Amino acid sequence: MNARRRHARSIAHEYTSRPPRASRARTPQLPVISYHEGSGVMATVPVVDRPREKLARVGAMALGDNELVALVLGTGTRSRGALVVAQDVIALAGGVPGLVRIALDELDRVPGVGASRAARLLAAVELGRRTLFGDSDERPQMLSTKDLVAYLLPRYGGSAVERFGVVLLDQKQRVIRSAILSTGTAEVSISHPRDVFRAAVLGSASSVAVFHNHPSGDPLPSAADRVMTRQLVAAGELMSIEVIDHIILGDTTYFSFKEESKR
């Protein structure tokens, strides 16, 4: 009896049990990762498109603005990747050119930046600015407005506040030195012709070029700028120290009163 029952169960098992399923072939996918540096997490991106690997593969010129800023920041947070934080920094600055005007405390308030990363970013911006002119023992000669702009714009353009300064020149129009004479607010700086010519006399300058920047980035002169230029030129004639130009600096552009006079 027991033998018959075991035989029946065996037959039933053969007819009711399912054959093993064939394993399905998986569709190959591109490798993706969550980009980590330290404790920070960047958005999930293909390995080859991570900013650091992308730079090594195709060079820094191929990276977007946010990728370059992300590399300088190094990390984001667990909820906000470095690329997202970098984009917020660029938006706060109003674009990459605005990074030269942004303050440390402004950067510190961006979620995911903090004091350490803010300092790192400002140091990188300043280092890049300094590479445009470097330190040279040779005294450059200012033979044209273009020479003056090439000398002044990397040094004094793009400031968050208005600064007024002077370039002292010798008889061959070589730079003796340049100096900021006054620093104002985001809208105005206050200076006087006597400040310019005091510096010129003390520096034994034969001629001078004066300059100031517009924090707005727009170098077009105001009515006050034109009045000041006429006063400076008149004072220079009395002092026998020629004012060869007054240049207004924007972020990447300039205005020259000398060039305007030739139009």
Q: What's the confidence (pLDDT) of residue 45?
A: 63
Comparing 34 with 117, which gets the higher pLDDT?
117
Domain assignment present for residue 9? The answer is no
Do 171 and 217 reside in the same domain of the chain? yes
Q: Are residues 154 and 126 in the same domain?
A: no
Separation of alpha carbons 47 and 73, rounded Å: 19
pLDDT at 166: 96
Q: Which domain holds residue 79?
A: 32-131
Query: pLDDT tens-digit profile of 134-164?
Result: 655 568 899 999 999 999 998 888 888 899 9
**pLDDT of 132 above 90:** no
CATH number, domain of 171, equals 3.40.140.10
17: in domain: no
Q: Provide the whole-model pTM.
A: 0.63
User: In whole angstroms, what is the distance from residue 156 CA to residue 205 CA?
Assistant: 21
Would you call 232 helix, strand, or coil by DSSP? helix
Do 155 and 232 have their domain in common? yes
Q: What is the pLDDT of residue 15?
A: 46
Percent of the chain with pLDDT over 70: 77
What gap in Å lies between CA 34 and CA 25, rounded to an integer?
Answer: 25
- Of 72, 107, 131, the residue that ends a domain is 131
Do 150 and 251 fall within a single domain?
yes
Check residue 5 and give its pLDDT. Answer: 55
Do 111 and 219 have their domain in common?
no
Q: What is the mean pLDDT of the chain?
A: 81
Higher pLDDT, 180 or 47: 180
For residues 103 and 211, membership in a common domain is answered with no
Specify whether 121 is located in the same domain as 163: no
User: How many structural domains are present in the chain?
Assistant: 2
- In whole angstroms, what is the distance from residue 2 CA to residue 200 CA? 121
210 found inside a domain? yes
Longest CA–CA span in the chain (Å) reads 134
C-alpha to C-alpha distance for 25 and 110, rounded to whole angstroms: 46
- Asked if residue 1 is part of any domain, the answer here is no
Residue finishing a domain among 78, 100, 131: 131
Q: How confident is the model over 235-259, as a mean pLDDT?
A: 94
Residue 57 pLDDT grade (very low, low, confident, very high; cuts 50, 70, 90): confident
CA distance 233 to 246: 9
Q: What's the pLDDT score for residue 10?
A: 53
Quick: pLDDT tens for 6-23.
Answer: 555 555 555 455 555 555
Give 173's pLDDT tier (boundaries 50, 70, 90): very high
Compare 251 and 91 and report the one with higher pLDDT: 91
Residue 153: inside a domain: yes
User: In Å, how far are 94, 107, 125, 145, 159 from 98, measured between CA atoms?
Assistant: 6, 12, 10, 25, 9
Shared-domain flag, residues 170 and 231: yes
Q: Does residue 107 contact residue 93 with C-beta atoms inside 8 Å?
A: no
Q: What band does 101 get if pLDDT is binned at 50, 70 and 90?
A: confident
Boundary-marking domain end, from 108, 131, 154: 131
pLDDT given at position 231:
94
Cα-Cα end-to-end distance for the chain: 121
The reported pLDDT for the residue numbered 48 is 61
Q: Are residues 176 and 246 in the same domain?
A: yes
Q: Over range 189-200, report the average pLDDT.
A: 86
